[in-house]
């Protein structure tokens, strides 16, 4: 079965909605809610990992900060403090009892009216958690995936702001992902409006050549990924030179190594682009070294030198 179809929910568990924990089946909204019609939502994707140190959430503050940043762009005022949202995320993970899970905070314009103007609609908040394992298939992290350059372009500057993680942006991501799937690729690599490298449907792109680590800059219609920032930090820790810059498409066919990174895909090597092998056609040494650091911090016992982990703790009274 393709990796694209293995994400069905179990329908169990508890969802945080506007300050209350409700049963999974009761976490519903009205079909006349603004967000359904006009894509007026922003969200986050976060992971909690199981480790020798217990369950902890990876880079919670950075994700919550980006959620607030996205809200500012869209003039949405979250009716909870930063700390309250962080606490609600921790509490939702704890109450569901998952050792490891994916966390989806969502802020959206709810039920009131369906004029295009979102401002009269309430700002609602939900936090959904579920168990979601390796995004691109179980051997992807080791052996890499095949990617193809998409014929769909990422959002042009000053249209849909790429740095805001808005639900509306994922109409574009969906087109990229469907085309890649139909064409037999695990993922698509999208170009920006000027034909320069941008990112995948839900992950940032990195290229390595002569031990220098490159990634498209934020001016190339990318989401400023938190895993992207993590990789840049870990690469510097490893003594590697990193460059955030405009990158032409042909760099894909000349790179020694390429990988995707994101909360869902973690660090996933790309073994071919447009059926041209990347480097030796398998995971390269820089990608492997970055994975080792990344998974070492979140899953085993490398020191959390950058303060990236928030412990979830046990359920009180459980």
Ligand X SMILES: Cc1ncc(COP(=O)(O)O)c(C=O)c1O
For the record, the structure tokens of 226 come out as 């938190």
**Backbone dihedral angles phi then psi of residue 111, each to the nearest 5 degrees:** -90, 120
Please pick, among 52, 99, 165, 271, the residue that the annotation labels catalytic: 165
Active site residue 99: no
**Backbone dihedral angles phi then psi of residue 83, each to the nearest 5 degrees:** -65, -40
Q: How far apart are CA 11 and CA 221, in angstroms?
A: 35
Taking CB under 6 A as the rule, does residue 104 contact ligand X?
A: no
CB of 23 to ligand X, least distance (A): 27
Candidate segments 26-34, 134-142, 218-226, 239-247, binder of ligand X by CB under 6 A: 218-226
Asked whether 15 and 127 are in contact (CB, 8 A), the reply is yes
Candidate segments 21-29, 34-42, 139-147, 221-229, binder of ligand X by CB under 6 A: 221-229
Taking CB under 6 A as the rule, does residue 124 contact ligand X?
A: no
Asked whether 278 and 258 are in contact (CB, 8 A), the reply is yes
The single residue among 204, 220, 268, 287 that binds ligand X, judged by CB under 6 A, is 204
Q: CA angle, 43 as apex, 293 and 187 as ends, to 5°?
A: 60
Nearest CB to ligand X, comparing residues 46 and 121: 46
Q: How far apart are CA 7 and CA 2, in angstroms?
A: 11
Taking CB under 6 A as the rule, does residue 167 contact ligand X?
A: no
Nearest CB to ligand X, comparing residues 203 and 272: 203
Site for ligand X in 222-251 (CB under 6 A): 223, 225-228
Nearest CB to ligand X, comparing residues 14 and 39: 39
Q: How far apart are CA 176 and CA 172, in angstroms?
A: 6
Nearest CB to ligand X, comparing residues 14 and 66: 66
Going through the chain in order, the beta strands assigned E by DSSP cover 14-17, 20-23, 41-43, 46-51, 54-58, 101-109, 123-130, 145-153, 187-191, 204-209, 212-216, 241-245, 257-262, 266-273, 276-277, 309-311
For the record, the structure tokens of 187 come out as 């993922």
**Tokens 């999208």 found at:** 190
Give the chain's length. 318
CB of 220 to ligand X, least distance (A): 11
Nearest CB to ligand X, comparing residues 55 and 173: 173
CA-wise closest residue to 39 among 212, 155, 199? 155
Taking CB under 6 A as the rule, does residue 252 contact ligand X?
A: no
Sign for the pseudo-dihedral over CA of 242, 246, 251, 257: positive
x-marked contacts with ligand X along 28-57 as a string, rule CB under 6 A: -----------------x------------
CB of 228 to ligand X, least distance (A): 6
Nearest CB to ligand X, comparing residues 188 and 225: 225
Taking CB under 6 A as the rule, does residue 268 contact ligand X?
A: no
Taking CB under 6 A as the rule, does residue 284 contact ligand X?
A: no
CB of 280 to ligand X, least distance (A): 26
Size of the site for ligand X (CB under 6 A): 13
Residue numbers of the site for ligand X (CB under 6 A)? 45, 173, 199, 202-204, 223, 225-228, 262-263
Q: Which residues are catalytic?
A: 165
């Amino acid at each position: 079965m393709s990796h694209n179809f293995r994400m069905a929910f179990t329908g169990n568990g508890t969802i945080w909605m506007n300050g209350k924990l409700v049963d999974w089946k009761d976490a519903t909204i009205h079909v006349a809610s603004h967000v359904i019609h006009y894509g007026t939502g922003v969200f986050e994707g976060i992971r909690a990992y199981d480790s020798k140190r217990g369950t902890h959430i990876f880079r919670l503050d950075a994700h919550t900060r980006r959620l607030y940043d996205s809200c500012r762009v869209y003039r949405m005022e979250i009716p909870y403090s930063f700390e309250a949202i962080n606490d609600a995320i921790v509490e939702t993970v704890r109450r569901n009892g998952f050792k490891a899970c994916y966390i989806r905070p969502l802020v959206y314009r709810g039920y009131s009216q369906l004029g295009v103007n979102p401002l009269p609609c309430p700002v609602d908040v939900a936090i959904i958690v579920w168990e979601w394992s390796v995004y691109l298939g179980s051997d992807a992290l080791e052996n890499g995936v095949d990617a193809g350059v998409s014929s769909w372009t990422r959002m042009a500057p000053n249209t849909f702001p790429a740095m805001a993680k808005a639900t509306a942006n994922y109409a574009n991501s969906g087109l990229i992902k469907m085309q890649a799937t139909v064409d037999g690729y695990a993922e698509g690599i999208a170009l920006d409006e000027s034909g320069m490298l941008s990112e995948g449907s839900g992950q940032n792109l990195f290229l390595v050549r002569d031990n220098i680590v490159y990634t498209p800059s934020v001016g190339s219609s990318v989401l400023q990924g938190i895993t992207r920032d993590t990789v840049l930090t870990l690469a510097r820790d490893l003594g590697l030179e990193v460059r955030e810059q405009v990158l032409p498409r042909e760099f894909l066919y000349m790179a020694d190594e390429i990988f995707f990174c994101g909360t869902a895909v973690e660090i996933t090597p790309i073994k071919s682009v447009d059926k041209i092998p990347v480097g030796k056609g398998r995971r390269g040494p820089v990608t492997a070294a970055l994975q080792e650091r990344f998974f070492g911090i979140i899953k085993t016992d490398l020191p959390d030198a950058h303060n990236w982990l928030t412990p979830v703790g046990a359920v009180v009274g459980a």
